[in-house]
Structure 1
Amino acid sequence: MRVGIDVGGTHTDAVLMDAATVVASVKTATTQDVTGGVVTALHDLVSSAGIDRDRIGAVMIGTTHFTNALVTGRGLARTAVVRLALPATSGLPPLVNWPAALHAAIDPRVHLCHGGHEFDGRAIAPLRREELLRVAGDLEAHDIRTVAIGSVFSPAAPELEEQAAAVLLEELPHLHVSLSHQLGRIGLLERENATVINACLRELADEIVEAFVGALRTAGISAPLYLSQNDGTLMDAEYTRRYPVRTFASGPTNSMRGAAFLAGELSDCAVVDIGGTTTDVGVINRGYPRQATGEVDIGGVRTNFRMPDVLSIGLGGGSLVTTGPSVSAGPDSVGFRLTRQALVFGGDVLTATDLAVAGGLAEIGDPSLVRHLDPGLVRRGLDWMAGRVVELVDRIRVSAAPLPIVVVGGGGVLMPEVLPGDLAVHRPPHHAVANAIGAAIGQIGGDVDRVVAVDGPRAREEAIAAARAEAERIAVSAGAAPGTVRIVDVTEVHVAYLPGGRRVQVRAVGDLDLEHRPAGGPAADGTRAEAGTARGHEQDARR
């Protein structure tokens, strides 16, 4: 059995699943410290299911801890940035155009060193050990314990980043090192930004992982801990410590994965996830969220690492309703205080949930407390919310062909059975906890993203076959059951400035193998000796 947990801004949802069957589910209020809500959800879930805790084989959690830390600028470590590129790229230094508040929060030390490669693999300049030794001295002098290393075109030629990391770790063994080729794609500034974000979250990641492990221990559960990544796959506790940035947007991803699972045959659809605070709309292709192809803005910083293609608005069950001069809802929300402040719960705040109850869409709280609402006001408010959702669905489509619409989330009661334009709404069983189900059914993934130069059709086929085999190997080494691994996406893009150049991206996924975890796999306390879901595993073991 598995437990899936998703921590949202309003509710913490948890489900217990036995294979593909939902055994029990609970929805509790998210607490200010977040982990308190996780403990409560675990206790309530086990009690309602009436099972022995020893039967739980794994716990999967989707969290917003790291996203919130970046947005608020709290809990971020002072970070150093090392770019290997001189004599090139000095015109646009690292962290250019970062928001001033976020820049101040990490108080960076920036170092430009020689290195990097041209797009065709030629070296810009050799690595200079003496420069890196000076960097190590500066880090020690300023008591900096985390560093982001980036090199020009490192996704195609990662060796200089790895060599630089080795030099710094020789001098400062305690250093947390984040390498850009393991986090981002082609595009120096955006990849470097993603690496810096990851680096400044490393110390917080240790605290969060320990808190979750402690929550499991408090609940009497000894199963291994996994966290959701933003592509719908899982990572173990130790991997999360090194790559916390991969949890960004895992909430919407879990909801979309859960929606695809619950909707059955609708493996290609638009998913509308309505929570207590926000509405997220994305597209599912072959059961997985469609990935964003361009830059992604996170907290005002441009990045280019993998993220689901999601459109979001501030509309949820706790959204405040504005009644004049026109009716609207959000973006302000009562959040986890919904059960105290909404009219249907005896409060004095008009929320979107109150409109849904007054309009006969839901039976929540005490309906008699909203009977005084003007029917015209209620109808205009519900129509406004439905229209906003249809607008988002239209924006996220890539063709004129209509997409089936699956509505999930606790705030799904805000939507009628038919949306404007005669669009039917699919509301599968357990839709209110689809996000937790998405976490529980998470699989193990393996990704390959490389630039290759090929000469002829045969060389191209061999390059793609090698990338497919490597993606499958990575998934198995990360803990996927070998017989379940499959390729879910192969993307090939011509690189115009490289003769015969191809950018090949391959993604493999497989079911989590709890019976035969790889050597150094997750233990009951949430630790493991070796990472296994990104390139550079050998180097990761000592970072």
Structure 2
Amino acid sequence: MYLGLDVGGTHTDAVIIDKSGVIAQTKVVTTHHNLLECINQALQSVLTGIEPSHIKRVNLSTTLTTNAIIENKCEEVGVFVSGGPGINPLHHAIGNYFFLIDGQIDHRGTEITLLNNSQLEKAIKKCRKKDIRVFAVVSKFSTRNPVHEQYIAQKLPQADFISVGHTLSGNLNFPRRIATAYYNAAVWRLYNTFSHAIEESLRELGAIAPVNILKADGGTIPLPVSRTIPVESILSGPAASVIGTMALCNITHDAVMLDIGGTSCDIAMFADGAPLIEKDGIQVNGRNTLVRSLKTKSIGIGGDSAIQVEGISVTAGPRRLGMSMAEGGSNPTIIDALNVLGTIHFKDTSRSQEGLQALEKKHGIQSQEIAQQAITYALDIIYNEVMAMINEVNSRPVYTIHEFLKGKVLKPKTIYLIGGPAKTLVNNIAQRFGWNVIVPQHCEVANAIGAAVARTTVDIELFADTQRCRLLVPNLNVNIRIPHDYTLDNAINDATNYMMQYLESIGVDEREREIEILEAYSFNMVEGFETTGKNIRVHCQVKPGILHQCKDILKL
């Protein structure tokens, strides 16, 4: 049995899946002031009548880190940055305690200038005075030589945690690495406190299965591994929706996914049946990061979006002022508008009528007209955002989780609709788009299903410099000597072996160790008129997808 949990903006969903399909599901209200409370409620509810010890795997998608960053509830971080030629690191300063330490390593990994110990000691002293306990350490070419990052980290004995740049990704992008390391440190304590509480809750319930956390790229990582890279859990909610849609639907063509919740609507695209990916990393609070992610977009339209009337103009969202009036809320919402129009008959329809009649009395517009305008406004927002996203995708190279699609132009004519209000909006959306709209079984808990069936993903990059006789795999902390005659074939073989060893070390099932090579190249390095060595790079991954044993049990 597999247990999936998804903490959404409005509801927390949980499902249990076995070889026959979904055997239990629940939905509880998300308590943002205490996420552990709603997670415990969901766990207790979904495990009713089920022996917890039979659960073999627990996967969790959480909004914790995303909310902490958006709401500026992060811990203060001491950021130590060592630059190099070109980009001025001060242009990418982040946080209240950002320190530039002179010192340079070039693009080959050669140390050009030693770190300035005087500057470093002054910065450390200032952090100590302010009782800074978590740090981010980044040098410009640390993926080629991490010596400066390692040296700075060793100078921070008072640290509870140090987010070290080269361990986060093998990609070369200095500004993205600074932001990623910062956010990783900023949410570390909050995330680890939460993780410990989750483990305690499961233990008290008798569930002793390994716990995994969903990542933005649609894969999972074991909870113990995630403790040092909590930044990977950012935007895992939309990723859960995408994986859930893949699990429930047989998608083989260009398509759009809409996950309409109470607070927002998540949009994702499929090209030839495969979800698109943000190859270089997502943007967080206006900062580009190295966190790989499925390509999604969230907009402030959901079933509980509040209806507003100004003059003769009726709008909805992005504000959510609570539940619909039909559910006991105090402000009319999209759900209430659907009740008034007779599109649905959800809970206390008389309360929906009362709410819109109050708006009619206040603004002199008939309640039916207000309801229709609110629905039209919401549908127009969704339609325009989908079209804008398609245009954006078609304006640049298209990358899916599988491959780069050269010359691909996205032309979707099918929408896969999931989320709590999905069934109530299917006809409205089909009419607005003029496309085929499919609502899968279990659409209301599709994101929890996505969390439950997502497999573990890892990507690594291997760099070899035969002139310097060095090989590095930055995010695995591998730094070894190689012979001068080292080849690209050697590199591919070593990258595969390092990946396999890592997957085994974190307990990934043999059936899920499907390693693919994304990039592999070698070019000669020339000085004067002579070849002095080769620069070799291999990038491989276990791509996002569905657990081998769950691939076909949930399909339509």
TM over 0.5: yes
Alpha-carbon distance, 1:429 to partner: 0.4
Is 1:67 aligned to 2:66, yes or no?
Answer: yes
Alpha-carbon distance, 1:448 to partner: 1.6
Alpha-carbon distance, 1:283 to partner: 2.2
Of 414, 419, 423, the residue aligned with 2:435 is: 423
Of 328, 332, 353, the residue aligned with 2:315 is: 328
Q: Which residue of 2 aligns with 1:182?
A: 167
- Evaluate the alpha carbon distance shift between residue 267 and residue 232 of structure 1 in structure 2; reply closer, same or farther with a 3 A threshold: farther
1:437 partner amino acid: I
Percent identity of paired positions between Structure 1 and Structure 2: 26
Which piece of structure 1 moves more, 281-290 or 209-218? 281-290
Q: Which residue of 2 aligns with 1:144?
A: 132
Which residues in structure 2 correspond to 1:246-395 (within 5 Å)?
246-266=232-252, 269-284=255-270, 289-294=275-280, 296-324=282-310, 325-334=312-321, 337-338=322-323, 342-370=324-352, 374-395=367-388
In 1, the alpha carbon distance for the partners of 2:98 and 2:263 equals: 37
- Evaluate the alpha carbon distance shift between residue 317 and residue 376 of structure 1 in structure 2; reply closer, same or farther with a 3 A threshold: same
Alpha-carbon distance, 1:314 to partner: 0.4
Of 207, 211, 228, the residue aligned with 2:193 is: 207
Alpha-carbon distance, 1:299 to partner: 2.1
Write the deviation string for residues 62-118 of structure 1: whole angstroms up to 9, x where unpaired.
1111111112222x32321222336x468432753x4xxxx3xxx425241424222
1:154 partner amino acid: S
Please give the root-mean-square deviation of Cα atoms over the aligned residues, in Å: 3.5
- Evaluate the alpha carbon distance shift between residue 359 and residue 94 of structure 1 in structure 2; reply closer, same or farther with a 3 A threshold: same
Q: Secondary structure at the match of 2:212?
A: strand
In 2, the alpha carbon distance for the partners of 1:392 and 1:500 equals: 46
Q: Secondary structure at the match of 1:192?
A: helix
Which residues in structure 2 correspond to 1:474-493 (within 5 Å)?
474-487=502-515, 490-491=518-519
Q: Which runs of 5+ in 2 are unaligned?
A: 357-366, 395-408, 468-485, 527-532, 550-556
1:241 partner amino acid: R
Is the contact made by 1:78 and 1:144 (CA closer than 8 Å) also made in structure 2?
yes
Which piece of structure 1 moves more, 498-507 or 212-221? 498-507
In 2, the alpha carbon distance for the partners of 1:287 and 1:489 equals: 21
Q: Secondary structure at the match of 1:73?
A: coil
Q: Which residue of 2 aligns with 1:239?
A: 225
Q: Which residue of 2 aligns with 1:506?
A: 540
Alpha-carbon distance, 1:236 to partner: 2.3
Q: Secondary structure at the match of 1:486?
A: coil
Q: Which residue of 2 aligns with 1:404?
A: 414
- Evaluate the alpha carbon distance shift between residue 51 and residue 145 of structure 1 in structure 2; reply closer, same or farther with a 3 A threshold: same
Which piece of structure 1 moves more, 431-440 or 307-316? 307-316
In 2, the alpha carbon distance for the partners of 1:490 and 1:80 equals: 35
Of 444, 455, 467, the residue aligned with 1:443 is: 455
- Evaluate the alpha carbon distance shift between residue 370 and residue 130 of structure 1 in structure 2; reply closer, same or farther with a 3 A threshold: closer
Alpha-carbon distance, 1:461 to partner: 6.2
1:2 partner amino acid: Y
Alpha-carbon distance, 1:178 to partner: 1.0
Q: Which residue of 2 aligns with 1:25?
A: 25
- Evaluate the alpha carbon distance shift between residue 295 and residue 256 of structure 1 in structure 2; reply closer, same or farther with a 3 A threshold: closer
Write the deviation string for residues 352-405 of structure 1: whole angstroms up to 9, x where unpaired.
111233344444212344457644443333333233223232233332422532
Q: Secondary structure at the match of 1:242?
A: coil
2:302 partner amino acid: G
Larger gyration radius, structure 1 or structure 2? 2
The TM-score, its normalising length taken from structure 1, stands at 0.80
Alpha-carbon distance, 1:240 to partner: 2.4
In 1, the alpha carbon distance for the partners of 2:299 and 2:426 equals: 18
In 2, the alpha carbon distance for the partners of 1:6 and 1:161 equals: 36
Alpha-carbon distance, 1:152 to partner: 1.2
Which residues in structure 2 correspond to 1:107-126 (within 5 Å)?
107-108=96-97, 110-118=99-107, 120-126=108-114
Which piece of structure 1 moves more, 251-260 or 470-479? 470-479
- Evaluate the alpha carbon distance shift between residue 199 and residue 370 of structure 1 in structure 2; reply closer, same or farther with a 3 A threshold: closer
Is 1:14 aligned to 2:14, yes or no?
Answer: yes
Q: Which residue of 2 aligns with 1:39?
A: 40
Q: Which residue of 1 aligns with 2:182?
A: 196
Is the contact made by 2:517 and 2:538 (CA closer than 8 Å) also made in structure 1?
no
Alpha-carbon distance, 1:451 to partner: 5.6
Which piece of structure 1 moves more, 145-154 or 481-490? 481-490
In 2, the alpha carbon distance for the partners of 1:34 and 1:479 equals: 28
- Evaluate the alpha carbon distance shift between residue 497 and residue 360 of structure 1 in structure 2; reply closer, same or farther with a 3 A threshold: farther
- Evaluate the alpha carbon distance shift between residue 367 and residue 496 of structure 1 in structure 2; reply closer, same or farther with a 3 A threshold: farther
Of 87, 90, 93, the residue aligned with 2:90 is: 93
In 1, the alpha carbon distance for the partners of 2:207 and 2:138 equals: 40
In 1, the alpha carbon distance for the partners of 2:525 and 2:298 equals: 36
In 2, the alpha carbon distance for the partners of 1:175 and 1:362 equals: 53
In 1, the alpha carbon distance for the partners of 2:252 and 2:351 equals: 38
In 1, the alpha carbon distance for the partners of 2:444 and 2:489 equals: 45
Is the contact made by 1:15 and 1:437 (CA closer than 8 Å) also made in structure 2?
yes
Is the contact made by 1:352 and 1:414 (CA closer than 8 Å) also made in structure 2?
no
Q: Secondary structure at the match of 1:311?
A: strand
Is the contact made by 1:29 and 1:37 (CA closer than 8 Å) also made in structure 2?
yes
1:78 partner amino acid: E
The TM-score, its normalising length taken from structure 2, stands at 0.78
Q: Which runs of 5+ in 1 are unaligned?
A: 515-543
In 2, the alpha carbon distance for the partners of 1:250 and 1:415 equals: 25
Is the contact made by 1:444 and 1:479 (CA closer than 8 Å) also made in structure 2?
no
Alpha-carbon distance, 1:12 to partner: 0.7
In 2, the alpha carbon distance for the partners of 1:94 and 1:179 equals: 20
- Evaluate the alpha carbon distance shift between residue 93 and residue 246 of structure 1 in structure 2; reply closer, same or farther with a 3 A threshold: same
In 2, the alpha carbon distance for the partners of 1:404 and 1:156 equals: 45
